[in-house]
Amino acid sequence: MEGLVGNEDVGQMSAWYVLAASGLHPVCPGSTRYEITSPVFNSIRFQLDTAYAAGARFTVKTRNNSARNVYIQRAWLNGKPYTHSYIDHSSIAAGGTLELEMGATPNKQWGK
Task: State the burial class of residue 90 (Cβ atoms within 10 Å of its Cβ: 0-12, 13-18, 19+).
Answer: exposed
CATH superfamily of the 12-103 domain: GH92 mannosidase domain (3.30.2080.10)
Q: Are 98 and 61 in contact (CB under 8 A)?
A: yes
- pLDDT given for residue 7 in this prediction: 61
- pLDDT tens string, the chain, 112 residues long: the values are 455 555 666 667 778 888 889 999 988 888 999 999 999 999 999 999 999 999 999 999 999 999 999 999 999 999 999 999 999 999 999 999 999 999 999 999 998 8
The whole model's pTM is what?
0.87
- pLDDT given for residue 6 in this prediction: 59
- pLDDT given for residue 22 in this prediction: 95
Question: What is the number of other CB atoms lying within 10 angstroms of the CB of residue 11?
Answer: 9
Which sign, positive or negative, has the C-alpha torsion 21, 28, 72, 85?
Answer: positive
Give CA–CA dist 75/84, Å, rounded: 8
